[in-house]
Amino acid sequence: MCVNSFERFNGRRSGKGSQVAILAHGFGTDQTAWSALRPWFETRYDVVSFDLAGCGPNGADTYDFDRHGSLFGYADDLLEIMDDLALRDCVYVGHSMSGMIGAVAAVARPELFDRLVTVGASPRYLDDTGYTGGFQAADLDNLFDSMSANYQAWVAGFAPMVVGVDNGQVVADFSRTLFQMRPDIALNTSRTIFNSDMRSLAAQLTRPVHVIQTAVDMAVPVQVGHWLEAAIPTATLDIIDAEGHLPHMTAPDEVVRILERRLSANVA
């Protein structure tokens, strides 16, 4: 039996709207990360979600170390899912790494996208001349070494730091999905993300891009949001007065307020 990409990546589809909204999660989570926002989307859109390669209950079966050694492989997965479902003119919402995955796909095939929303996305995590990414090479080496030495201990420290606020339920949920990832896949995925440089894509984006991030994020400093706003010709920027890398989980009401303003005129 031939299984299409939507099924292989544990795809889920729901909602009442005529326009499709794709919800794409970030590193260490799975599509359940959208649970707080999904009801808002379902009353307005035909909602499509899936688990990224390496994530979710079937993550080990969907991950390929060569294909997913760059974000372009993930973008190919996304485009295959969109083709499987014959999707066009979609609103794409991508958290963290999925923000850049969507950007790759939208540059390659802009006709599939109406607009993009990125939440806590970064085109480059390493600092560079004239660019603040938030990390030095030594920081990343320490992170990779910690993941390799004791993945369980690393998750225990990493999850609350990324959540960034005192929210035990979100820390528990994030820890659960991190532990769901096979450690070698999690390590390779983190290397792919943190060593990526997607800045050249920014000027090539032609669809509207709504950039959302928190005022304090250990993974993506606020300077990155301002860089994206300046570099993407079609960008808007909204900075939430909140902390942490997972505002769709920790501050969903704040995210909804931005979505209502940016997408209200666009809802079919």
Catalytically active residues, by annotation: 96, 217, 245
Whether 74 and 53 have beta carbons less than 8 Å apart is answered as yes
The token duo for 257 is 């307020």
Helices (H), 85-165: 97-108, 137-149, 151-163
Distance CA 148, CA 232 (A): 36
- The 8-class DSSP code of residue 176 comes to H
Per-residue CA distances from 12 to 21, 34, 81, 167, 195 (Å): 12, 12, 11, 27, 30
Q: Is the dihedral of CA 85, 88, 91, 96 positive or negative?
A: positive
